[in-house]
Amino acid sequence: MNDVVNNPPSWLGVMGGGQLGRMFAQAAQSMGYQVAVLEPAADCPAGQVAQRLVNAGYSDANGLDELARQCVAVTTEFENVPADSLSRLAQSVFVAPNAHGVSVAQDRIAEKRFFVGCAPKSGVMPAPHKVIAALEDIDAISDDLLPGILKTVRMGYDGKGQVRVKSRDDVRNAFEAMGQVTCLLEKMLPLAYEVSVLTARGADGESVVYPIAENVHRDGILFTTTVPGPNVSAQCAKAAQDAATAIVAELGYVGVLCIEFFVLTDGTLVVNEMAPRPHNSGHYTIDACATSQFAQQVRAMARLPLGDVRQHSPAVMLNILGDVWFEDGSDTPRTPAWDKVLGLPGACLHLYGKDDPRRGRKMGHITFIAATLDDAQRQLNAACAILGIPA
């Protein structure tokens, strides 16, 4: 490995072939780079646009070595890529984020311990929690941890691997239903709203933080992201940005990192979780910021100066799930009225190249940019009416 800036037309690699890999590839290509994707699925969103698809599993030694030979740097588009694979790649190529940062984010126990250890610098704590590794642990649950949410330690996302529990019997039933895999019980807190903080850190230790995004979820899946967050005070925004800067530095991280925080009804900021990659809530940056989160990931892994995070337009991002392909009661998909959606001022449509629409599957997103946040929200409501989405 060398430490010089890797200019285009060098090859950059990405582990994972989903929509985040697709948007990363498009950003890298717009900057003159060539992109190789390692992904076991032959027909994947990122593979449709990359110059090369290494069709191999994430732990396949030959595939990893092939990616390393091709590329000057490698990143990941999802947090569940094996940390051992990133370590193998790092023996011969620059990897950002590194195996350590990804491994902490992969494991809720390691993540919570990291947040607690980082609290003197970040100024924020996670929710009270307890590890549930065996049935005996349930009897030792403190009364003040209930009601809570029982979460699997690994592989949980978009509301998967999470169950709300009110009593020890609920915990016991949920734990058994999850196959008695190690879980984390988190106390439910009086939530006012959730924010996500998108930050990026370069190999030189410099970091930037995007404007604070306010999120709304439905059924555990992100529904909308609004930036600037309508409920986010200047004091809350500064506390979240300062915390994110401390966390990304303490982690020794290089790349784009998204950190989710809860804002409680009394204004307290609580750190929830982090994603070691570009994030769904950061998609608005493609259309509303000087540097998108994907271009920022390219800059960090290529060891270029980080880009300007200035937001030039208020924005609301709407996730598009496969549900909008189906009319009520029908199992036959039809094409949504994209022509009508694109007739709305400031509507920026991004579809992910997935051929099989299914209810609950992320198929794309629309970002609405406008002169004012009220205007952007009006266009969001109009699009929801067109697509049959309850606003």
Mean pLDDT, range 210-237, rounded to an integer? 96
Whether 12 has a pLDDT exceeding 80, the answer reads yes
pLDDT cut 90: percent of the chain above it: 92
* pLDDT grade for 330, boundaries at 50, 70 and 90: confident
In whole angstroms, what is the distance from residue 359 CA to residue 349 CA?
19
Q: Does domain 191-387 have CATH number 3.40.50.150?
A: no
Residues 286-314 have pLDDT tens digits of: 999 999 999 999 999 999 999 999 999 99
Which architecture characterizes domain 11-95 according to CATH?
3-Layer(aba) Sandwich (3.40)
* pLDDT grade for 158, boundaries at 50, 70 and 90: low
379 is in an annotated binding site: no
* pLDDT grade for 1, boundaries at 50, 70 and 90: very low
157 is in an annotated binding site: yes
354 is in an annotated binding site: no
* Domain residue ranges in the chain: 11-95, 128-187, 191-387
Whether 114 has a pLDDT exceeding 90, the answer reads yes
Whether 11-95 and 191-387 share one fold: the answer is no
Taking the domain 128-187, which CATH number applies?
A: 3.30.1490.20
Whole-number pLDDT of residue 391: 73
Mean pLDDT, range 162-184, rounded to an integer? 94
* pLDDT grade for 2, boundaries at 50, 70 and 90: very low
Mean pLDDT, range 262-290, rounded to an integer? 97
130 is in an annotated binding site: no
161 is in an annotated binding site: yes
* pLDDT grade for 331, boundaries at 50, 70 and 90: confident
Whole-number pLDDT of residue 154: 84
Write out the chain in H/E/C secondary structure. Answer: CCCCCCCCCCEEEEECCCHHHHHHHHHHHHCCCEEEEECCCCCCCCCCCCCEEECCCCCCHHHHHHHHHHCCEEEECCCCCCHHHHHHHHCCCEECCCHHHHHHHHCHHHHHHHHHHHHHHHCCECCCEEEECCHHHHHCCCHHHCCEEEEECCCCCCCCCEEEECCHHHHHHHHHHCCCCCEEEEECCCEEEEEEEEEEECCCCCEEECCCEEEEEECCEEEEEEECCCCCCHHHHHHHHHHHHHHHHHCCCCEEEEEEEEEECCCCEEEEEEECCCCHHHCCHHHHECCCHHHHHHHHHCCCCCCCCCECCCEEEEEEEHHHHCCCCCCCCCCCCHHHHCCCCCEEEEECCCCCCCCCCEEEEEEEECCCHHHHHHHHHHHHHHHCCCC
Whether 379 has a pLDDT exceeding 80, the answer reads yes
Whether 329 has a pLDDT exceeding 80, the answer reads no
pTM of the model: 0.95
Any idea which residue has 């717009």 for tokens? 30
> Residue 371's CB: how many other CB atoms inside 10 A?
11
Mean pLDDT, range 122-142, rounded to an integer? 95
Specify the amino acid at residue 278: P
188 is in an annotated binding site: yes
311 is in an annotated binding site: no
Mean pLDDT, range 212-216, rounded to an integer? 97
* pLDDT grade for 159, boundaries at 50, 70 and 90: low
pLDDT cut 70: percent of the chain above it: 97
169 is in an annotated binding site: no
214 is in an annotated binding site: no
Whether 189 has a pLDDT exceeding 90, the answer reads yes
159 is in an annotated binding site: yes
32 is in an annotated binding site: no
47 is in an annotated binding site: no
Whether 156 has a pLDDT exceeding 70, the answer reads no
Q: Is the model more confident about 188 or about 331?
A: 188
Closest CA to 78 of 229, 374, 297: 297
194 is in an annotated binding site: yes
